[in-house]
Amino acid sequence: MSSTFRLLKIVRVLFAERIDEFLPQPKRGPLRALSWIIPKVRMRRSRGERLRDALQALGPVFVKFGQMLSTRRDLLPPDIAAALAELQDRVKPFPGAVAREIVEKDLEASVEDIFSEFASEPMASASVAQVHAAQLKTGEEVIVKVIRPGIAKVIEEDLKLMMTLAKFVEKNFVDGKRLKLVQVVSDYRVTILDELDLMREAANTALIRRNFENSPICYVPQIYWDYTRRNTMVEERIYGVPISQIHVFKEKQVNMEKLAERGVEIFFTQVFDHSFFHADMHPGNVFVDINDPENPIYKAIDFGIVGTLDPESQAYLAQNLIAFFDRDYRAVAELHVESGWVPKTTNVGEFESAIRTVCEPIFQKPLGEISFGVLLIRLFEVARRFQMEVQPQLVLLQKTLLNIEGLGRELYPELDLWKTGKPFLERWVKERLGPKGILEYTKRNGSRWVVQFPKLTNSLLEAPERMSRLESLQLHQTEALVDLAKEAKRQRRGRHVASLIGIVGLGIAGFALSGQSAWMTQHWPLFVGILSLVLLIRR
């Protein structure tokens, strides 16, 4: 019953905001009639703004969904994507007393036993969790992140309804499948369920902190594992200026070019050197230490969403981007086929032509004005026409790159992503795919190869015996197939004999019944001869 009421509320909110105006027109009469019946309200706002407001009215799960949807600019019109990008995690907080109860239940101790201070009012409240300032008994200033009570059940119910609505739209609206809402909801399900486990976020934070240990350009806070559980995470409190407060940077005369370039460098370092990147780099998760305006230091938080790239994807992506920069579209097409991103049967010439058609207009602009993120989107759009399977790691990468690029250009409009990115990529390809990279790979894997060598040797020595057994098995199988074929032939011959005898019998019976028995008595040897001849031929 509660699910039914929830669904009715969703439908009411969506139609009240006249979301039907930007969906494909319904295939069926009743749906079209329903969209006509409901009165138009607040139509002074754009369709993107109305969708944004509808998601906010439906609650935190839908707000989070809208944020993720805003990154799929390859699926959405620009005005809708821009409006959804404005969604913020400004959700009504739950009481501090409830947060204390969750912490105490998770840590199996009272708040007073662990913290000398614990703020009842949250510092921030988001769709899945909220954050409280605190101080440990040992004196360290920390933040305590607490999962919203009952949010898991709400998320599960809303995810089911989202999937129902997605299937409904794909089935009942013209071009509904083009929106790929079922796929989007499925991706969202994995993302948001991962965020419900703060142990996972803590582990992500610890790894990225280790990767940037002693880095002069990026700092990641420490996790206090003794006080971290599935619903509670205690983390070092950091101080800095939110990356969105550009006016503060200008007032303090921060080197904006260096700040923007360092952001790009951090991104490429995570993607290509670490193979593990922060995939939720919106302004609310990034701060800057500007104590030294000439050397600003990034401070990142909230690692609930991360992305990874395997070595093969890294190599192909790096070579793809370099080939794009050099406008070598043949290489781009061939790399897509080699990587398995598009089917092996793809016509490389046609694929190359499609890529050139889409990308050449982009390269007519000065390099500093070319959007790296838009280029990737165009590439994926072309590749999808050639049946490219969705690569989840590339979707996260695209989303993060769009965030980084937008942030960098906001900080320093003259930022040339190619100027920063191409030398990094060329160095990476040279180091990883050249002689030095091969040597390093051999060093890293040498001990494992030594362990595996005896097994490999034994496998090689046993290979002739295995081949002999295989040949024997194949011989037996062949003999069995021959016997089976002979038996089938015998059965077919038997069926033919039975059929012919039946036909002759029916013929004789027919003649007998028609009063021609005397004629049959006279000519039966002829019938027997014909039957024998037919049987001989059938053999």
Q: In 3D, which of 47, 284, 68 has the Cα closest to residue 181?
A: 68
Q: In 3D, which of 70, 90, 89 has the Cα closest to residue 80?
A: 70
Query: Both ends of the chain: CA-CA distance in Å?
Result: 73
Cα gap 330→207, rounded to integer Å: 38
- Helices 2-16, 47-58: axis angle to 10 degrees equals 160
Question: What single-letter DSSP state applies at residue 174?
Answer: T
Number of helical (H) and strand (E) elements in the chain, helices listed first: 20, 11
Residues 6+ apart with CB under 8 A from 285: 278, 300, 301, 302
Coil, strand, or helix at residue 486?
helix
**52 in Cβ contact with 84 (< 8 Å):** yes
Annotated catalytic residue, options 280, 289, 326, 416:
280
| Residue 421 tokens, joined | 């990115």
**428 in Cβ contact with 318 (< 8 Å):** yes
Instruction: Determine whether 20 is an active site residue.
Output: no
| Residue 153 tokens, joined | 């059940």
- Please list, residue by residue across 499-535, b when 16 or more beta carbons sit within 10 angstroms of its beta carbon and e when fewer do: eeeeebeeeeeebeeeeeeeeeeeeeeeeeeeeeeee
Which sequence positions are flagged as catalytic?
A: 280
